Amino acid sequence: MPTLLSETTWQKSLAQAIRDPQELISRLNLPEELLEPARKSAHLFPVMVPISYLNRIEPANLNDPLLKQILPIDLENAFVPGFEADAVGDLNVRATPGMLQKYHGRALLMVSGACAIHCRYCFRRHYPYGDEPRTLQEWEPVWQTLQADSTIQEIILSGGDPLLLTDLRFHDLCERIAAIPHVKRLRIHSRLPVVLPDRIHAGLLEMLQRLSEQGTMPWMVIHVNHPNEIAADVEHAIRQLLQAGIPVLNQSVLLKGINDTTETLIALSEKLVNLGVLPYYLHQLDRVTGTAHFEVPEAQGRKLIEELRTRLPGYAVPQYVREIPGEPHKTSLLG
Ligand code: SF4
């Protein structure tokens, strides 16, 4: 069993997260007229901002790139043709409840419907998490499917955020995965190292190291969009992961008014690689209802990547991709 010593610390941080639009607006000293639209949009997708993340936002600055990621605004209610609830076709690839299978050799498990932060551009903001299995018994068909399919070499934990599971639950999950001989890698897609960095504590690291000793290599894929997100506590969490021998990759979403400049993307890549994190993907925005105001034209994205290529070593330039439902892999937008 893992040590549970620090479990309460991150759970306290999670409990203290801001969930009320009024509190968000007053703590950041924002104009009161933003409250009504924030309330209206939060009705569709609630506010959720951990204090650690809030502290990285400059008060009263409406252009703060972190604020724009978490503040609900009126534009989320606009109807824009071409934007839909399930833009990436998740619901068409549900192999069994709790498990999506889009690509060869990999299976994605929706182990948590909760997140520690609500990113307003979220590609799963309309996902019916309530339909996914909850009890251990309801998860059994997933384990049976995985056991029976020896082509699956990699399990991806997603959601929601898989690191919001308790240590005990996460430990059980690791044990189940380690018991499937053909599964060689566990990829964890989580924004927690960035938005709730005290989630990375000794007990979790022990579980991941044990998994690697059992023959299943854990990989952590974090999600940072702007260099300002990488505060000192985030750096500490990332260093702990790397020191424990867990490779860390980053994926970002190209977001209008947030990271759509060469200088921002360069600063982000440099901060990541200087820490030892590989910039993996720059995603073109998934065209999900309520997120159109974040979209950057593909032509501009291509130009940004071309500029990055002239300024950074190849390993520091993320792959610029879009997810097209039905395709057997992410589609490169660089042709
Ligand atoms: S952390 Fe990921 S899944 Fe959760 S709201 Fe943000 S983008 Fe969506």
User: Is the predicted pLDDT of residue 16 greater than 70, yes or no?
Assistant: yes
Mapping DSSP onto H, E and C, the string for the chain reads CCCCCCHHHHHHHHHCCECCHHHHHHHCCCCHHHHHHHHHHHHHCCCCECHHHHCCCCCCCCCCCCHHHHCCCHHHHCCCCCCECCCCCHHHHEEECCEECCCCCEEEEEEECCCCCCCCCCCCCCCCHHHCCCCHHHHHHHHHHHHHCCCCCEEEEEECCHHHCCHHHHHHHHHHHHCCCCCCEEEEECCHHHHCHHHCCHHHHHHHHHHHHCCCEEEEEEECCCHHHCCHHHHHHHHHHHHCCCCEEEEEECCCCCCCCHHHHHHHHHHHHHHCCEEEEEECCCCECCCHHHCCCHHHHHHHHHHHHHHCCHHHCCEEEECCCCCCCCEECCC
Is the confidence at residue 250, as pLDDT, over 80?
Answer: yes
Mean pLDDT for the stretch of residues 207-233: 98
Please work out whether the CB of residue 124 comes within 6 Å of at least one atom of ligand 1.
yes
- The best mutation among 19, 41, 117 to test binding of ligand 1, ranked by most ligand atoms within 8 Å of the C-beta, falls on 117
Q: Name the token pair of 89.
A: 């076709």
Ligand 1: centre distance to CA 203 (Å): 24
Question: CA-CA distances (angstroms) from residue 298 to 143, 258, 334?
Answer: 39, 16, 9
HSE-CB of 109 using CA atoms within 13 angstroms: 27
| Amino acid 335: pLDDT | 66
With a 6 A CB cut-off, is 229 part of the ligand 1 pocket?
Answer: no
The CATH-assigned architecture of domain 7-332 is Alpha-Beta Barrel (3.20)
User: What mean pLDDT comes out for the span 134-163?
Assistant: 96
Which is the closest atom of ligand 1 to the Cα of 160?
Answer: 3
Q: Regarding predicted confidence, which is higher, 2 or 304?
A: 304
pLDDT band at 2 (very low <50, low <70, confident <90, very high): very low
**Residue from 71, 123, 191 to probe ligand 1 pocket by mutation (most atoms less than 8 Å from CB):** 191
Provide the pLDDT for residue 4.
Answer: 47
- pLDDT, mean over the chain: 96
| Res 5 pLDDT > 60 | no
From the CA of 129, how far away is ligand 1's center (Å)? 13
- pLDDT tens for residues 45-65? 999 999 999 999 999 999 999
Q: So where are the chain's domains?
A: 7-332
- Predicted pLDDT of residue 143: 97
Task: Decide if pLDDT at 32 tops 60.
Answer: yes
Residue 3 has pLDDT above 60, yes or no: no
191 C-beta closer than 6 A to ligand 1: yes
Considering only CA atoms, which residue is closest to atom 8 of ligand 1? 122
Answer yes or no: is the C-beta of 163 below 6 A from any ligand 1 atom: no
38: left (phi over 0), alpha (psi -120 to 50) or beta: alpha
CA of 257 to the centre of ligand 1 (A): 19
Tell me, what's the pLDDT at 8?
Answer: 84
For residue range 182-197, list pLDDT tens digits in order. 999 999 999 999 999 9
Ligand 1: centre distance to CA 145 (Å):
27
Tell me the average pLDDT across 226-248: 98
Q: Which of 14, 66, 115 has most ligand 1 atoms within 8 Å of CB, for mutation?
A: 115
Is residue 167's pLDDT more than 50? yes
Backbone angles phi, psi at 262, to 5 degrees: -60, -45
Structure tokens that stand for 257 in this block: 């008014």
Non-local (6+) Cβ contacts of 8 within 8 A are: none
The type of residue at 34 is: L
pLDDT in tens, 121-146: 999 999 999 999 999 899 999 999 99
Q: What is the dihedral of CA 7, 10, 12, 18, to 10 degrees?
A: -160
Q: For residue 169, is pLDDT > 90?
A: yes
Q: 113 CA to middle of ligand 1, Å?
A: 10
Q: Quick one: pLDDT at residue 22? A: 98
d(CA 321, CA 185): 23
pLDDT of residue 7: 76
Would you say residue 265 has pLDDT above 80? yes
Q: Tell me the pLDDT tens digit for each residue of 67-117.
A: 999 999 999 999 999 999 999 999 999 999 999 999 999 999 999 999 999
CB of 161 shorter than 6 A to ligand 1: yes
Q: Are 303 and 335 in contact (CB under 8 A)?
A: no
pLDDT greater at residue 6 or residue 92: 92
Model confidence at 180: pLDDT above 90: yes
Distance CA 95, CA 143 (A): 12
Q: Determine the pLDDT at residue 6.
A: 67
Q: How far does the centroid of ligand 1 lie from the alpha carbon of residue 150, in Å?
A: 30
